[in-house]
Amino acid sequence: MLKALQELYRYRELTAHLVFLTLKTRYRGSFLGFFWTLLNPLLLMLVLWGVFSRVARVQEEFYALFLLSGLIVWMFFSQSVDAGQNSIVKQYSLIQKIYVPKIVFPVAIVTSNFVNLVFSLIAYILIALVASYPIMPSIILLPMAFAMLYLFTVGSALLMSTLNVFFRDFTHLTATMLRALFYLTPIIYPVSLFGEKAAFLLKFNPAYYPVTVIRDLLYYGTLSTLSTWTIGFGLAVAVFVLGSAVFVKNEDNFIFYA
């Protein structure tokens, strides 16, 4: 794994190029271009707000902002995993010709989505300002929470991109798995909506922690409990180590599964 990190560092300029390339080509030909990065979470927020504030009657005063603070985290994670899982398969024409450390591809995908996350965060802050909802000083701790989220997401993307090389089925399965995980994570509802037993069970979902920590800092203006931070970072590191170990162990054989 150390070797993977060294190679990642040595090829950091390639990673930067790939991040730029992903950002540049994502909205190619579209009229609004990069604005979609800001618009997409807002539109999704509007749809979910329309549905859940009326139908499900979630008791949350600023439900729209509550939703947005969770959605930007979720969209970063799900889009990273969704694009990351195909990051190796899509690069076969290159890796069959020239040596490149393969880890750069999933890492570049996640990082380009991370850039989008930062822009979504700006969108959140602007909307909060317009709605005269206070931005709490707790947001200075966001970089730490983002680090947890980034590690967790890179680990997941490495794992999924490896599995997808050997079993292309995962491409089809992932969309459904992500949808299930979306509902199992407190994004559209607060944990308090259900009883204590449900709140306990939700904590078995590793995605619970980054979503909770970031929402607490951003929307509630509070620090999550120390145990939430600790378990969150523990899980993020564990997923990252697992993902990179699986990736590194198998990367030499990727080439044979084109």
Give me the residues that bind another protein (CB under 8 A), please: 10-11, 13-14, 16-17, 21, 24-25, 28, 93-100, 166-169, 252-253, 255-257
Q: Which is nearer to another protein, 57 or 169 (CB)?
A: 169
Instruction: Give the integer Cα–Cα distance in Å for 85 and 47.
Output: 27
Smallest gap from residue 51 Cβ to another protein (A): 34
Smallest gap from residue 99 Cβ to another protein (A): 4
Smallest gap from residue 15 Cβ to another protein (A): 8
Smallest gap from residue 20 Cβ to another protein (A): 8
Handedness of CA 33, 34, 37, 39 (dihedral sign): negative
Q: Which is nearer to another protein, 48 or 248 (CB)?
A: 248
Q: Which is nearer to another protein, 26 or 203 (CB)?
A: 26
What is the signed CA dihedral for 180, 184, 187, 192, rounded to 10 degrees?
A: 160
Is residue 81 within 8 Å of residue 160, measured between CB atoms? Answer: yes
Of 93, 41, 87, the C-alpha closest to 67 is: 41
Of 164, 144, 127, the C-alpha closest to 209 is: 144
Q: Which is nearer to another protein, 102 or 215 (CB)?
A: 102
Smallest gap from residue 87 Cβ to another protein (A): 15
Q: Which is nearer to another protein, 12 or 57 (CB)?
A: 12
The 3-state DSSP class for residue 243 equals helix
Smallest gap from residue 249 Cβ to another protein (A): 12
Contacts of 247 (CB under 8 A, 6+ apart): 4, 102, 103, 106, 158, 159, 161, 162
Q: Which is nearer to another protein, 178 or 193 (CB)?
A: 178
Amino acid in the structure at residue 94: L
